[in-house]
Structure 1
Amino acid sequence: MEKRTVQYSKSIQTRLVLPPDTNHLDTIFGGKILAYIDEIAAVAAMKHSNSTVVTASIDSVDFVSSAKAGEALTLEASLTYTGTSSMEVYVRVTAHDMIHNIEKLTTESFLTMVAVDEDGNPVAVPGLRPETEEEIRLFETAPARRESRKNRSRTR
């Protein structure tokens, strides 16, 4: 299988934060952000693998700042590493106050997605070919994140 670039499957989605999406502080529910992150990670993984995918784990989520009603969220998902059937996906979420033209990072997350066939069995995925300095950095640091993920599952 030929390796694919990060750009091949990079996925971007913009969503407006509406009042029903917010809590009593007028900021978006964390669970709503998690659902958006899971969805965009799946889209990127499906584009890379040309396969159905399942979420194996949400490895880390860092809520850096909050987003308020009326702001636009931009979610960017990029593959950072691939295994035999698994794919690590990095998702970056920013909020844009369009009235004052202020943009801020709200959330960063790493997820592991697994490509599966129609019976739910893992299938092979193409390798990843990072090109930019940032893509190479994330690719080279992925094995340490994978080991950390394995260690977490061993302690259960």
Structure 2
Amino acid sequence: MEQFLVDLGEHTDQTTKQMLQNLIDKRMKYNRYKYIHFLLLTTAFVFGFFVFTFFYKISIQTSSSNMLDMFSLFVRKNHLLTLFFIAFALFGSVKVIFEKKEKSEKEYHALRCEIIEKSKNLWKGDKWIQRHMVFEQMKKKYDINLYHESK
């Protein structure tokens, strides 16, 4: 459990602390998938550009305008097939990571909205004053806005 959640003491009950810890974990998971998606997408575009340039220089510029010659050159050079396969695999992995990123974002946003809706029940009486301190810490340390439901 995060140190600032432990330091809250009796101002916040254990269930609320666990909900906040789950929210932090989901935010970190979302940020990780977002970073991996960006990295893979950039890699796939750069690699795809180089493969296309390499294919253009080898097959289109060197062969005549005959499409059959260009296709036979493409099939004879196994490294071209391998490079295209790697490029397609990279773009496929971008799609898979994008779907995981979207799923983790939905889970994160649903839990965040649930905490916002239940905040009146989670912090009752004297604890209501401490709620703002928790919200500020969550915003400052983890960039999690618990004041409003909008993204």
TM-score tier, shorter chain, comes to: under 0.3
TM (normalized to structure 1)?
A: 0.25
Larger proportion of helix: 2
Larger proportion of strand: 1
- Higher-Rg member (1/2): 2
TM (normalized to structure 2)?
A: 0.25
Higher relative contact order (CA 8 A, sep 6+): 2
